[in-house]
Amino acid sequence: MRSWLAKQQSLGKSRSTMSRRATAARVFTAWAQRTGRISTDPGALLASPRPHKSLPGVLGQSDTRAVLDAAAVAADDGSPIGLRDLAIMELLYATGIRVGELCALDIDDIDTSRRVVRVFGKGRKERSVPYGVPASHALRRWLDEARPQLARQGSGPAVFLGARGGRIDQRAVRRLVHERIAVVDAPDLSPHGLRHTAATHLLEGGADLRSVQELLGHASLATTQIYTHISTDRLRSAYEQAHPRA
């Protein structure tokens, strides 16, 4: 069985694929022993390769500014779609919320006076996430000027609407993010990449890991440690400032 796994590796199978196949093999041999088909369980000693946890790419701060500036330029004509798209891009970066969380937002979830958005994450766990002044301006223009132009009788309380007046879907938001990033020739990212970008920029700006955990809605700090990274330059700078023999 170990030779079989080694063969999978030589064929270029990913760690995740090998881990799933090892698990399937262990389940099978455990069943075979339990039902009397074999006397011992060889799969019990078969270890799974640890899946490789790859991090999504991130935009640098200058690239992020360029992407948001491009979205602002596209909204200069005052069109409802342009203003909506700008508000989406600003809010995704300002809060680091998931694309599903953004699409599920209702009007009552936005506290414009305190600049806080109420988000229902995985397991319907509620959290409040602040957002900054640029996102506030974009969101106010969308809600006050543009959303009423797209709203229809069946629009309901959704914050963000599609062109036909219904709640915007995740595919439209993903397409928007790809298109806006392509305009400035920055590395292509999904909304999940913008979430990771926001978290990374918070850490680079001095935010502590637990605050980022709370903003992202992670149940475990370990998830945040995997999901975020600190640049080598910042780590070196912190070392040189803090270590007495740096």
> Residue 114 catalytic?
no
> Residue 13 catalytic?
no
Of residues 122, 152, 175, 236, which has the active-site annotation? 122
Of residues 98, 147, 180, 196, which has the active-site annotation? 98
Of residues 93, 131, 147, 227, which has the active-site annotation? 227
**Cα–Cα distance, 23 to 108 (Å, whole number):** 45
Interior CA angle at 69 toward 85 and 73, to 5°? 65
Residues 6 or more apart whose Cβ sits within 8 Å of residue 88: 102, 160, 168, 173, 176
> Residue 239 catalytic?
no
Of residues 192, 201, 229, 234, which has the active-site annotation? 192
> Residue 245 catalytic?
no
Dihedral sign, Cα of residue 142, residue 144, residue 149, residue 152: positive
Query: Helices 170-183 & 80-95, crossing angle to 10 degrees?
Result: 90
Q: Which residues are marked as active site?
A: 98, 122, 192, 195, 218, 227
